[in-house]
Chain A
Amino acid sequence: MSRAELVGLLISVISFGTLLYLAALGELIAEKSGVLNLGVEGTMAMGGVTGFLIGVQSGSAWFALLIAALVGAVFASIHGIVSVVMGADQVVSGLALTILGLGLSAFLGKDYVSSAPGAKFNAINLGPLSDLGVVGETLFSMNGVSWLAIALGIATWFMLSRTRMGLSLRAVGESAATADAAGTPVVLTRMIAVAIGGAMAGMSGGYLTLVLAPGWNEGTTAGRGWIAVALVIFGAWKPGRVLFGALLFGGLIALEPRLQTLGLDVSPILMSMVPYLLTIAVLIVLSIRSRNRPSVAPAAIGLAFRREER
């Protein structure tokens, strides 16, 4: 592999990693509060289509990304209202959100399928750092969204482990009744978590249509939202491990079109199954590990909360 090819591969890994990490981080926040959101794929599609449309209309990539995040937050809030406020089944509600999002995004974007992208991000110039060989060249090519994703990851870790808000959010996800007795507003906390999660999924979708594969096509999310859901499990609900997983899974996606040039005789179809196989393997490890200690999964995940009537 030439040096240029290697840099190309690394950039591709980071790009797909960014895409997956944004969505997975959002899902992690929602799940930490006890809400499983299977609507990530649909929310990404909604963020993708609005991000692209706003990009074409406004010409500002950052503005388009912001709108994609807002649309994601609003869209995920549908799931929040149905499953958190009304107490409906989280699995059914989340699946419905994905189906709705895929359909609605296809409808909204049908006139823009062949449009040229209207906005793009520039790489952030790191000055002398970009001279540091392959690593420097790769980092030199990273655009602001990748840096933002890393910043969000650190912020999420800090929020969850070092702030009152994080303590409340985790408590709500472990035992809503205990958190309620301690005076934490359960429904509000979960709604906020779901909305933030949706914003990140929307942002991820916007990143896809603005940066990774500029343009809009129906079904452009191609199951990346589902990988994000799997990633949260793979990363054992920890922002740092999810980042590692995002780069690993992103790497697998980046390798797919390069297998032939690398002389590896592996079917890309088989490759695309690897993230899920790894996730199943992690699930097994986690369940063995939790035989004599509590599971790492938030204990209240999937459980609707209703205060006991007296």
Chain B
Amino acid sequence: MLGENGAGKTTLMNVLAGVYLPDEGTVSLDGVEHQFNKPADAIAAGVGMVHQEFRLIPTFSVAENVVLGSAPTLVAKRAIEDEVAALAERFGLATEPGRQIWQLSMGERQRVEILKALWRDAKVLILDEPTAVLTPNEAAELGRITSAMADDGRSIIFISHKLDEVKEFCDEATVLRGGKTVAGSLSVADLDAGAMAELMVGQATDVSQRRSRTSEIGNQVCSVTDMMVHDLHQRAVVNGVSLTVAEGEIVGIAGVAGNGQRPLADAIAGLVKLTSGTVTLAGTDLSTSQPSARNAAGLAYVPEDRIGVGLAPKMNVTENAMMRAYRKLSSGSLIDRDKARANGERLVSEFNVKVGQMDSPIAALSGGNLQRLLVGRELDNEPKVLIAAQPTRGLDVQGVAAIQRILLAQAADGLGILLISEDLEELFALSDRLLVMHEGKVVAEVDPDTATRSEVGRAMAGA
């Protein structure tokens, strides 16, 4: 199952696994029509799914996690461990049934999820982007396991956006784009990577939407040099990234989710620590500065999680609007309520945020209004550089257009923008330069005026 982010792969598979109910259409297994109202129904019919976020209990042993929900009345530790070990051996899965989950690598945890499905005798096993969390060696190991299961007469649905993996692991491929099947049951052996990439991202059709430059690009204002960031598991999630943003320039970053875009943005904004490398803004080294110091130096950040990181859902409009500027809106340690309210009202009217009451929680606002409030707040301090992470994700058409207009207007006024998006159309339309990230590295830099989508798509897929 091949397709870009948002193509509908996971949603479709969740229907098959009983997580979602289809509005129309049917699910059949071996020619028998099924209706799955809940995951347990699908499991009972022989469909198992390994989700991207593992559903394992960290303090339970491998065996306990495998048998949970379908254990014998008396759970003899040794007996279930032996049974799980025997099952694992049958399919060539290396595992230690007595160890607790928290002690295991991501690859080992994934094998536990696969074992859970096999324990329930799944005839159809769905793996949702299984290699995203694996090292190359573990991915190769997974390939051997899926072959063993296929040889045992089981079907495997392998969700991926990586062409080389599909070539390596799969017999047939179905390509989804925009929630539709664009090609079904293709024989992988007859396809080359280029053809698959083209099916995945589609043809470039909307070059006319490309914005025309209205202002000159100025001097370089922000630079990131050799940035390394490690996650909790000591994996290099940002692996030696260097980039620059100039005044009035929009630098786009394309990439499949989870290839380092988020830690890159967080590290520039100061929310996660750099292992090595530097972040410089207007000549000042901010590599070890606190987020507030970076903001004061002219860095604004619209994070990917607009609720939670960007805005506090249970606080009201006025309070959310003042989060960057509370020092200016206070006299001594007391907040000047009139000033704070005026500040909120000004942002609301300037950025056309439709709110009910200034003092009601923002959780009730629509996504578009939330985003305009957040973007407005971040732009209020006349920043030099804005990091906009997925700024239009989940918004409706007008919402998207409003945010894009704001970004373009600000760039025309000299703001440097680092635009991180999974929407290729948006990146092609807005960016002056387009970088592609894959596995924590910038693997390509293209000129959106001349580059093709399949070229970018291939770089995104690591081909």
- Partner-B contacts on A (CB < 8 A): 161-164, 166-168, 170-171, 174-175, 177-179, 181-184, 293-294, 299, 310
A-B contact count (CB 8 A): 61
Query: Interface size (B, Cβ < 8 Å)?
Result: 26
- Partner-A contacts on B (CB < 8 A): 19-21, 39-40, 43, 55-60, 64, 67-77, 100, 102
Are B74 and A182 in contact (CB-based, < 8 A)? no
**Candidates A164, A178, A184; contact of B55 at CB < 8 Å:** A178
Q: Which residues of A contact B70 (CB under 8 A)?
A: 182-183
Are A183 and B59 in contact (CB-based, < 8 A)? no
Known: A163-B74, A163-B75, A164-B74. A299 touches B68 (CB 8 A): no
Are B75 and A166 in contact (CB-based, < 8 A)? yes
**Candidates A166, A167, A178; contact of B56 at CB < 8 Å:** A178
A300, closest chain B residue (CB): B57
Are B73 and A170 in contact (CB-based, < 8 A)? no
**Candidates A164, A168, A182, A294; contact of B58 at CB < 8 Å:** A294
Are B71 and A167 in contact (CB-based, < 8 A)? yes
Are A164 and B75 in contact (CB-based, < 8 A)? yes
**Candidates A166, A179, A294; contact of B59 at CB < 8 Å:** A294
B14, closest chain A residue (CB): A310
Are B69 and A182 in contact (CB-based, < 8 A)? yes
Are A175 and B57 in contact (CB-based, < 8 A)? yes
Q: Which 7 A-B pairs have the closest CB atoms?
A: A182-B69, A183-B69, A164-B71, A174-B57, A178-B55, A182-B68, A294-B58
Q: Which residues of B contact A166 (CB under 8 A)?
A: 75
Q: Which residues of A contact B19 (CB under 8 A)?
A: 310
Q: In the docked arrangement, what's the CA distance between A181 and B54, Å? A: 11
B103, closest chain A residue (CB): A293
Q: How far is the CB of A236 from chain B (nearest CB, A)?
A: 12
**Candidates A163, A178, A184, A310; contact of B20 at CB < 8 Å:** A310
Q: Which residues of A contact B64 (CB under 8 A)?
A: 167
Q: Which residues of B contact A182 (CB under 8 A)?
A: 55, 68-70
Are B56 and A164 in contact (CB-based, < 8 A)? no
Q: How far is the CB of B56 from chain A (nearest CB, A)?
A: 7
Are B58 and A299 in contact (CB-based, < 8 A)? yes
Q: In the docked arrangement, what's the CA distance between A34 and B76, Å? A: 24
Are A183 and B57 in contact (CB-based, < 8 A)? no
Q: How far is the CB of B37 from chain A (nearest CB, A)?
A: 11
- Sample of 29 A–B contacts (CB below 8 Å): A161-B77, A162-B74, A162-B75, A162-B77, A163-B73, A163-B75, A164-B71, A164-B72, A164-B73, A167-B67, A167-B68, A167-B75, A170-B60, A174-B57, A177-B55, A178-B56, A179-B57, A179-B69, A181-B39, A182-B68, A182-B69, A183-B69, A184-B68, A293-B102, A294-B58, A299-B58, A299-B59, A310-B19, A310-B21
Q: How far is the CB of B117 from chain A (nearest CB, A)?
A: 12
Given contacts A164-B72, A299-B59, 5 further A-B contacts (CB under 8 A): A168-B68, A168-B69, A174-B59, A182-B69, A184-B69
Q: Which residues of B contact A299 (CB under 8 A)?
A: 58-59
A298, closest chain B residue (CB): B59
B80, closest chain A residue (CB): A167
Q: In the docked arrangement, what's the CA distance between A179 and B71, Å? A: 12
Are A179 and B74 in contact (CB-based, < 8 A)? no
Are A294 and B102 in contact (CB-based, < 8 A)? yes
Q: In the docked arrangement, what's the CA distance between A161 and B76, Å? A: 9
